[in-house]
Amino acid sequence: MTAPLDTEPAAAPAAGPGDERSAYRGVLRYALAKAGGAVLSIGMVIVATFFVFRLIPGDPAIAYTRDVPLSPEQLDLLRHRMGLDKPLMQQFLDFVLRTIRLDFGTSYEYKRPVIDLIGERVGPTMVLVGTGLVISVSLGLWQGTRAAWKHGSRFDRVSTGISLVLWSVPTFWLGLLLLMVFAAGVGPIPGIFPTRGMEDIDAPDGPLYLLHVAHHLVLPCLTLVAVVYAQYLLVMRSSLLDEIGQDYVTTARAKGLRDDEVRRRHAVPNALLPTVTLVFINIGFVVGGAVSVETVYSWPGLGLLFYEAIKGPDFAVMQGTFIVVCTAVIIMNTLADVVYRVLDPRVRSA
């Protein structure tokens, strides 16, 4: 009598310690390659900054004096002190070496080192961008998850439509509109928020100071959130719609799991991967995109500093802030690539 054939499929071999070490070595090599690419990109930004800003019309020496009448001899002496009388390649090498040391020169307007000005303005920008990013991500993920799970419902259509409209609105126009309505006041609507700045001259001390800053933060943060959150909503909605059609979601439902549990434990974690990378990428871009918001509300951050430098023109400040913002974007893009490879086992094992 012959034995019955075994019709059960053979189980896939479990990944051993060697496979895990090989996967993590692959991630490390990938991270080092990305870091090398980021360093190269930052180097290209430094090179482009030097040559592009020298195409701007005007004499930096005259801009430094703010049109104060000087004799030709005095202008020549000033150009010598600024290194403008050196050959172009010598100026370039000096600029690269100073940038590596984080020496961006001295501001024409403030007569202070640019790196000190940037250090003072980073804090307010991070308060605005950080608060706006947390609210944008939370709001976008919640609405995107609910819109995808109730695909085609009234909530889906309304939330997606509103987010698309706000995403299409120019940031400076929305900021001016909110400033006019809720700060200056229109008709029966009183002005309940400050019109400019991060704090008043008579700002209180202690815990009340945080409430004072939060009161100034409402309109700038609302403007930034209204324009940014749509990206997270749309990406989360699209990712979750893809996950809903997967076999593992159908299997989880067939096992009798509640709909809320299927969404929370199975579908949403996998749909979060693209959104996580988008958060890292947008951190860099939002810092640069806050220029218009900070300008409209006179928020004392990097964006306002860059705008004031353009008005000057203050070439040293323009170069320094441009390099800092571009470096932030490059670093965040690199982290996004590495984090995505670490979080997604399909990519990590590739």
DSSP 187-218: TTB---S-SSSSS-TTPPPTHHHHHHHHHHHH
Give, as one character, the DSSP assignment of residue 186. Answer: B
Q: Which amino acid is at 213?
A: V
The tokens for 224 are 């930034």
- In this predicted structure, what is the pLDDT of residue 63? 66
Residue of 265, 271, 328 whose CA lies nearest to 133: 328
User: Could you give the domains of the chain?
Assistant: 24-56+102-347 (1.10.3720.10)
- In this predicted structure, what is the pLDDT of residue 12? 44
Give, as one character, the DSSP assignment of residue 255. Answer: T
**Angle, to 10 degrees, between the axis of helix 171-178 and the axis of helix 207-244?**
130
Q: What is the pLDDT along the chain (350 residues), one digit of tens a residue?
A: 444 444 344 444 445 555 566 766 777 888 899 999 999 999 999 999 888 877 776 667 766 666 677 777 777 787 777 777 778 888 888 889 999 998 888 887 788 899 999 988 888 888 898 898 899 999 999 999 889 888 888 999 999 999 999 888 888 899 899 988 888 877 777 878 888 888 888 778 878 888 888 989 999 999 999 988 888 998 888 888 888 877 777 787 788 778 778 777 778 887 887 888 788 777 776 666 578 888 899 898 888 888 888 887 778 888 898 898 889 889 888 888 888 777 766 655 55
- In this predicted structure, what is the pLDDT of residue 242? 85
In angstroms, the CA 297 to CA 183 distance is 10
- In this predicted structure, what is the pLDDT of residue 5? 41
**pTM: predicted TM-score of the whole model, two decimal places:** 0.79
Residue of 301, 297, 319, 311 whose CA lies nearest to 109: 311
- In this predicted structure, what is the pLDDT of residue 115? 92
> Three-class SS of residue 181?
helix
**The tokens 């399909």 sit on which residue?**
346
In angstroms, the CA 316 to CA 319 distance is 5
In angstroms, the CA 103 to CA 93 distance is 13
